[in-house]
Each structure stands twice: as C-alpha cells, then as structure tokens.
Amino acid sequence: MPGNADATGSRVTLHVVSSLDGFIARKDNSVSWLDDSGSVYEAGVSVSEEEAATFVKGIDCYVLGSRTYEHALELGWPYGDTPTVVVTGREWPQARENVEFYSGDLSRLVDEKLAPQFRNIWLVGGAMLCQRFLELGLVDEIRLTIAPILLGDGLRLFGGSLMEERWDLKNVAAYKNGFVELSYAASS
Ligand SMILES: NC(=O)c1ccc[n+]([C@@H]2O[C@H](COP(=O)([O-])OP(=O)(O)OC[C@H]3O[C@@H](n4cnc5c(N)ncnc54)[C@H](OP(=O)(O)O)[C@@H]3O)[C@@H](O)[C@H]2O)c1
C-alpha cells in the first residue's frame, strides 16, 4: 500500500505544478510560465500573502532532486529557512545552512531520517524524484496544481513506468489566476 502516514503521524505530500498537457518544465528547463498571469477566473479564490505565509510555515521539511535544487538556486531560493533535503549522488558545496544532501535508499530517507523529525514533509520535484517516490509507495498525498497553459513539449510529469493505482480525490481549489489545485490521498 502506498504512503507513509505511520505511527509518527508523518506525511509525505508530493506537490508539483503541471501544464494542461502534463509538463512541469519547458524543454529548455524554464518554468517562467508558472508566473504568467492569464485572464482572471472570477469565481476563483485568491490567497493573501499572509495566508500563503501561514500555509508555508506549516511545512516542516522539503525534499527535492538535485536538478530542481540547481534550478531553485538559479531562480531565487523559494524554500526559505525550512529544512531541505536534496537527493543526489554528487558532492555539492554547502550553499545554504538549511540544506542537507542525501544519497542512498529513499525508503530509509523517509522512514528513518525524516519521519521521526518532521510531520509535514513536502516533496517538490522534479519529475525524476517524484517518480521514484511514487514507485516506492512513499507518497501519502498528491497535490497537483494545473496551470492554464499548453506547453506542447518539455519535461513530462510522471513520464516513466508507474503502476496503475487509484487515488482518492480529497479537495479541489480553483484560484483567480486560473490555476486549479487537485489534492489526492493514497487509496486505502
Ligand atoms: N513545475 C513544477 O512544479 C516543478 C517542480 C520541481 C521542478 N521542476 C523543474 O523540473 C526540472 C528538474 O526535474 P528533473 O526530473 O529533471 O530532476 P530532479 O528530479 O529535480 O533531479 C534529478 C536528480 O535527483 C537525483 N536523484 C533522483 N533520484 C535519486 C535516487 N533515487 N537516488 C539518488 N539520487 C537521485 C539525481 O541527482 P544526481 O544527478 O546529482 O545524482 C538526479 O539526477 C527543473 O527544470 C525544475 O525547474 C518543476
């Protein structure tokens, strides 16, 4: 059964933003389309900066692949001082105090290293690392945000060989900027 919502109460949430046609980055890796503001969806909700900040404060730890890490350093670090684990097989200079590098078994990362310390663990990409987490059944919740754009080409979300598996829809939120967030829990 997928998921790691164990006795510690720790949960892994996979969060990514996808285009309508299922890409999470353009072919050249750019993600500037995430910031594009299209037309306003009047019935959508808007989130104030304070609300967004409060929400982000509830995240105890971020996990990301090394390519997402490189990109985040280039674009402007979005994870603040929250503890962040970068999964990589390479050696990296210590660019930020709150970043730790991890190489090895991903189930051990979650079960032995993260779950005992953190409750609300967010896996934020990229495609390769999300795919591995899903294959290993380490994800409790998928929060998929759909951006109102067709990219035509790029880095495919979940492009590999996942097994068929049903997930339960838990929430849908449509925002004024035309983005829609779908939240799914691993089916029990
Ligand atoms: N739209 C969105 O929401 C979103 C979110 C996140 C990222 N992105 C974009 O996605 C792109 C990056 O995604 P990506 O799929 O190319 O790469 P990624 O998943 O971010 O990183 C892949 C790297 O992670 C490491 N890794 C993955 N699995 C591992 C394992 N089991 N053990 C050890 N290391 C492992 C490897 O690092 P080493 O090569 O260092 O060993 C691998 O090369 C960027 O363009 C980024 O901007 C978009």
The CATH number covering residue 138 comes to: 3.40.430.10
- Does residue 6 belong to any structural domain of this protein? no
For residue 68, being part of any structural domain is answered with: yes
CB atoms within 10 A of CB 165: 11
Which of 181, 187, 186, 188 minimizes the C-alpha distance to 15?
Answer: 181
139-148 mean pLDDT: 97
Report yes or no on 51 lying in a domain.
yes
**Total domains in the fold of the chain:** 1
Going 66 to 137 to 6 to 181, the CA torsion angle's sign is positive
Indicate the average pLDDT of the chain: 93
Query: For residues 65-86, b (16+ Cβ closer than 10 Å) or e, as one string?
Result: bbbbbebbeeeeeebeeebbbb
Residue 158 confidence (pLDDT): 85
Whether residue 134 has its Cβ less than 6 Å from ligand 1: no
Ligand 1 touching residue 110 (CB < 6 A): no
- pLDDT at 1 (0 to 100): 42
Would you say residue 33 lies in a domain? yes
Residue nearest to atom 5 of ligand 1 (CA): 125
Report the pLDDT value the prediction gives residue 51, as an integer from 0 to 100.
95
Within a domain: 109: yes
What is the extent of the structural domain holding 28? 11-154+174-186
User: Pairing between strand 84-87 and 99-102?
Assistant: parallel
Tell me if 164 is assigned to some domain.
no
C-alpha 114: how far from chain center: 16
Q: CB–CB of 159/130 below 8 Å? A: no
Other beta carbons less than 10 A from residue 173's beta carbon = 14
Query: How far apart are the CA of 41 and the centre of ligand 1, in A?
Result: 32
pLDDT of 4 over the 80 cut: no
At 63-116, the pLDDT tens digits run 999 999 999 999 999 999 999 999 999 999 999 999 999 999 999 999 999 999
Alpha helices, DSSP H, located in the chain: 49-57, 66-75, 106-108, 127-135
pTM, rounded to two decimals: 0.95
**Does 111 reside within a domain?**
yes
CB of 31 closer than 6 A to ligand 1?
yes
Asked if residue 161 is part of any domain, the answer here is no
Ligand 1 touching residue 156 (CB < 6 A): no
pLDDT above 70: residue 2: no
pLDDT digits over 151-161, tens only?
999 999 987 77
